[in-house]
Amino acid sequence: MKILSIGAAIAAVTFGAVGVASAGGTPATAVKPAAMAVLGEHSMPGKVTKVDHHSGMVDVDSFGMHLVVHFPPRSISGLQVGDPIVLHLGYSKAR
């Protein structure tokens, strides 16, 4: 079984920016978390239920919740529906 670990903080460091899905399902403005204090960090295991390799949008089921997250498209090129992953989450207060 392949386990893939993807994280917003890791993607931000690697690629410079990460977007978060807004209520409408489209990426919100990307920010550089390194410039702000990251709060509320934790990890969540989940299973990929949908991947859009063009937009970078990934649907994940975790602990019975449906999550929609965004990554730089190149960072998810090998991600497939059904892959178990671990999301590493954190947030920063908007200024």
Domain count, the chain: 1
- Is 91 within the bounds of a domain? no
**Phi, psi for residue 8 in degrees, rounded to 5:** -60, -45
Got the DSSP string for 27-82? B---B-GGGS--EEEEEEEEEEEEEETTTTEEEEEETTEEEEEE--GGGGTT--TT
Range of the structural domain that residue 70 is part of: 4-85
Query: pLDDT by residue for the chain (95 residues), tens digit each?
Result: 444 444 443 333 323 333 444 334 444 445 554 567 899 999 999 999 999 999 999 999 999 999 999 999 999 999 999 999 999 999 999 88
- Is 95 within the bounds of a domain? no
- Is 90 within the bounds of a domain? no
- Is 75 within the bounds of a domain? yes
What's the CATH code of the domain at 21? 2.30.30
- Is 35 within the bounds of a domain? yes
- Is 45 within the bounds of a domain? yes
C-alpha–C-alpha distance, residues 3 and 55, integer Å: 22
The CA distances from residue 71 to 1, 15, 35, 75, in Å, are 23, 9, 18, 7
